[in-house]
Structure 1
Amino acid sequence: MIENRKFIVIGVFCLVGLVYLSRLFYLQILDDSYSLESSSNSIKRVIEIPYRGQIYDRNGKFMVYNTPVYDLYVTPQKVQIPDTAAFCHLLSLERTEFDSIMAVAKAHSYRKPSLFLRQLSKEDFARIQDALVDYRGFEHVTSSMRTYPAHTMANALGYVSEVSRKQLDEQETPYYRQGDYIGRSGLEEQYESILRGQRGIKFVMQNVHGVVKGSWKNGAFDSLAIAGKNLHTGIDVEIQQYADTLMQNKVGSVVAIEPSTGQVLCMVSAPTYDPNALSSRFFSKSYSKLAKNPYKPLINRPVMASYRPGSTFKLIQALVALQDGAVSPGSIFSHAGSPMKCHCNRSGRLNLSGAVQYSCNPYFYHVFRRLLYNNAERNTFKASAMGLHHWHDMVSKFGIGSRLGIDLPSELKGSLPDADLYDKLYGEKHWKFSTVYSLSIGEGELLISPLKMANVAAIIANRGWFYTPHIVSGIGEPGKGIDSKYLEKHEVGIDPQHFEVVAEGMQGAVEHGTTTMAAVIPGITICGKTGTSQNKKGKDHSIFVAFAPRENPKIAIAVFVENAGWGGIAAASVASLVIEKYIKRRVDNHALDKKVKESNYLPAITPPKKPAPKKFVEPPKDSTAKPLIVKTVPARPVAPAQPETQSLASRPVTTNGN
Structure 2
Amino acid sequence: MRKILLPSLIIVAASLLLIRIFYLQVINDTFKLKSENNAIKIKYDYPERGYIFDRYGKLLVSNQASYDIMVIPRELKNIDTLEFCQLLNITKEDYIEKIAKAKVYSPRLPSVFLAQLNKSEFAAFQEKIRKFEGFYFQKRSLRDYEVDFGANIFGGITEVNEKTIEKNSYYKSGDLIGVQGVEQSYEEILRGIKGVKYIQKDKYNREIGSYKNGKYDTIAVQGEDINLTLDADLQRYGEQLMINKRGGIVAIEPKTGEILSLITAPSYDPSILVGRQRSKNYTLLYYDSIAKPLYDRGLLAEYPPGSPFKILTGLIGLQEGVINEQTTYTCYNGFSYARGRFMKCHAHAPSQQLHNGIYNSCNTYFAQTYMRIISKYVKPSYAVDVWSNHLKSFGLGQFMGYDLPTGKRGNIPDSKTYKRIYPNGGWRGTTIVSNSIGQGEVLMTPIQLASMMATVANEGYYYTPHMIKKIKGEQIDPKFKVKHQTTIDKKHFKPLISGLFDVYNVGTARSLRVEGIDIAGKTGTAENFAKIGGKRVQLKDHSIFVAFAPKDNPKIAIAVLVENGGFGATIAGPIASLMIEKYLRKKITRIDLETRILNISLRDEYAKMGGMKAAEAIETTPKDISIKNNEFSNFTRKDTTTQN
Partner of 2:263: 268
Contact 2:411 2:441 in 1 (8 A): yes
Q: Which amino acid aligns with 1:536?
A: F
Instruction: Check 1:29–1:393 CA distance in 2 against 1; reply closer, same or farther (3 A cut).
Output: closer
1:529 equivalenced with 2:532 (yes/no): no
| CA apart distance, 1:102 | 5.0
Partner of 2:248: 253
- In structure 2, the residue corresponding to 1:70 is in which secondary structure? strand
Partner of 1:463: 459
| CA apart distance, 1:471 | 0.4
Q: Which amino acid aligns with 1:290?
A: L
Query: TM-score, length-normalised on structure 2?
Result: 0.84
Partner of 1:147: 144
1:415 equivalenced with 2:418 (yes/no): no
Contact 2:129 2:136 in 1 (8 A): no
Contact 1:455 1:556 in 2 (8 A): yes
Q: Compare 62-71 and 549-558 and name the one that shifted more.
A: 62-71
Q: Which of 35, 40, 53 is the aligned partner of 1:43?
A: 40
| CA apart distance, 1:288 | 1.0
Partner of 1:614: none
1:244 equivalenced with 2:245 (yes/no): no
1:360 equivalenced with 2:362 (yes/no): yes
Q: C-alpha distance in 1, partners of 2:35/2:257?
A: 56
Partner of 2:59: 62
Partner of 1:118: 115
Which blocks of at least 5 consecutive residues in structure 1 are unaligned? 1-17, 377-381, 610-634, 647-658
| CA apart distance, 1:210 | 4.3
Per-residue displacement from partner, 1:521-562 (whole Å, max 9, x unpaired)? 111111110111111123211110000111111100000100
Q: C-alpha distance in 2, partners of 1:26/1:329?
A: 81
Contact 2:463 2:481 in 1 (8 A): yes
Q: C-alpha distance in 1, partners of 2:238/2:170?
A: 39
User: After the TM superposition, which residues 163-202 of structure 1 pair with which residues of structure 2 at under 5 Å, given as runs?
Assistant: 163-169=160-166, 171=167, 174-202=169-197
Partner of 2:425: 429
Partner of 1:649: none
| CA apart distance, 1:427 | 2.1
User: After the TM superposition, which residues 494-643 of structure 1 pair with which residues of structure 2 at under 5 Å, given as runs?
Assistant: 494-515=488-509, 517=511, 519-537=512-530, 538-602=539-603, 603-604=606-607, 643=621
User: After the TM superposition, which residues 129-528 of structure 1 pair with which residues of structure 2 at under 5 Å, given as runs?
Assistant: 132=128, 136-137=132-133, 139-169=136-166, 171=167, 174-208=169-203, 210-294=205-289, 295-335=291-331, 337-338=337-338, 339-347=342-350, 349-374=351-376, 382-477=378-473, 481-515=475-509, 517=511, 519-528=512-521
Instruction: Check 1:218–1:438 CA distance in 2 against 1; reply closer, same or farther (3 A cut).
Output: same
Q: C-alpha distance in 1, partners of 2:421/2:354?
A: 33
Q: C-alpha distance in 2, partners of 1:162/1:470?
A: 27
Q: C-alpha distance in 2, partners of 1:22/1:332?
A: 89
Q: Compare 320-329 and 303-312 and name the one that shifted more.
A: 320-329
Q: C-alpha distance in 2, partners of 1:21/1:362?
A: 86
Q: Compare 179-188 and 322-331 and name the one that shifted more.
A: 179-188
Identity %: 37
Q: C-alpha distance in 1, partners of 2:364/2:20?
A: 91
Partner of 2:50: 53
Q: C-alpha distance in 2, partners of 1:25/1:394?
A: 67
* Larger-gyration structure (1/2): 1
Q: Which amino acid aligns with 1:427?
A: P
Instruction: Check 1:599–1:308 CA distance in 2 against 1; reply closer, same or farther (3 A cut).
Output: same
| CA apart distance, 1:355 | 0.7
Contact 2:529 2:620 in 1 (8 A): no
| CA apart distance, 1:140 | 3.2
Partner of 1:6: none
Q: Compare 323-332 and 189-198 and name the one that shifted more.
A: 189-198
Partner of 2:79: 79
Instruction: Check 1:46–1:641 CA distance in 2 against 1; reply closer, same or farther (3 A cut).
Output: farther
Q: Which amino acid aligns with 2:240?
A: T
Q: C-alpha distance in 2, partners of 1:645/1:35?
A: 54
Per-residue displacement from partner, 1:482-505 (whole Å, max 9, x unpaired)? 111110011113232322211111
Per-residue displacement from partner, 1:4-54 (whole Å, max 9, x unpaired)? xxxxxxxxxxxxxx9999999988876665886899331233344333222
Which blocks of at least 5 consecutive residues in structure 2 are unaligned? 1-14, 531-538, 625-644
Contact 2:36 2:109 in 1 (8 A): no
Instruction: Check 1:277–1:39 CA distance in 2 against 1; reply closer, same or farther (3 A cut).
Output: closer
Q: Compare 148-157 and 521-530 and name the one that shifted more.
A: 148-157
Partner of 1:5: none
- In structure 1, the residue corresponding to 2:408 is in which secondary structure? coil
- In structure 1, the residue corresponding to 2:198 is in which secondary structure? strand
- In structure 2, the residue corresponding to 1:534 is in which secondary structure? strand
Q: C-alpha distance in 2, partners of 1:33/1:636?
A: 55
Per-residue displacement from partner, 1:220-275 (whole Å, max 9, x unpaired)? 22122323222221101111111110111111001000111110000001111122
Q: Which amino acid aligns with 2:441?
A: E
Q: C-alpha distance in 2, partners of 1:24/1:131?
A: 46
Q: Which amino acid aligns with 1:579?
A: I
Per-residue displacement from partner, 1:119-158 (whole Å, max 9, x unpaired)? 11234335x3676479755643321112222122212221
Instruction: Check 1:607–1:496 CA distance in 2 against 1; reply closer, same or farther (3 A cut).
Output: closer
Q: What is the Cα-based RMSD across aligned positions, in Å? A: 3.2
Per-residue displacement from partner, 1:188-223 (whole Å, max 9, x unpaired)? 222222222333332111234644333223212212
Aligned positions, number? 589
Instruction: Check 1:221–1:318 CA distance in 2 against 1; reply closer, same or farther (3 A cut).
Output: same
Q: C-alpha distance in 2, partners of 1:644/1:19?
A: 65
- In structure 2, the residue corresponding to 1:456 is in which secondary structure? helix
Instruction: Check 1:383–1:228 CA distance in 2 against 1; reply closer, same or farther (3 A cut).
Output: same
| CA apart distance, 1:568 | 0.9
Q: Which amino acid aligns with 1:433?
A: G
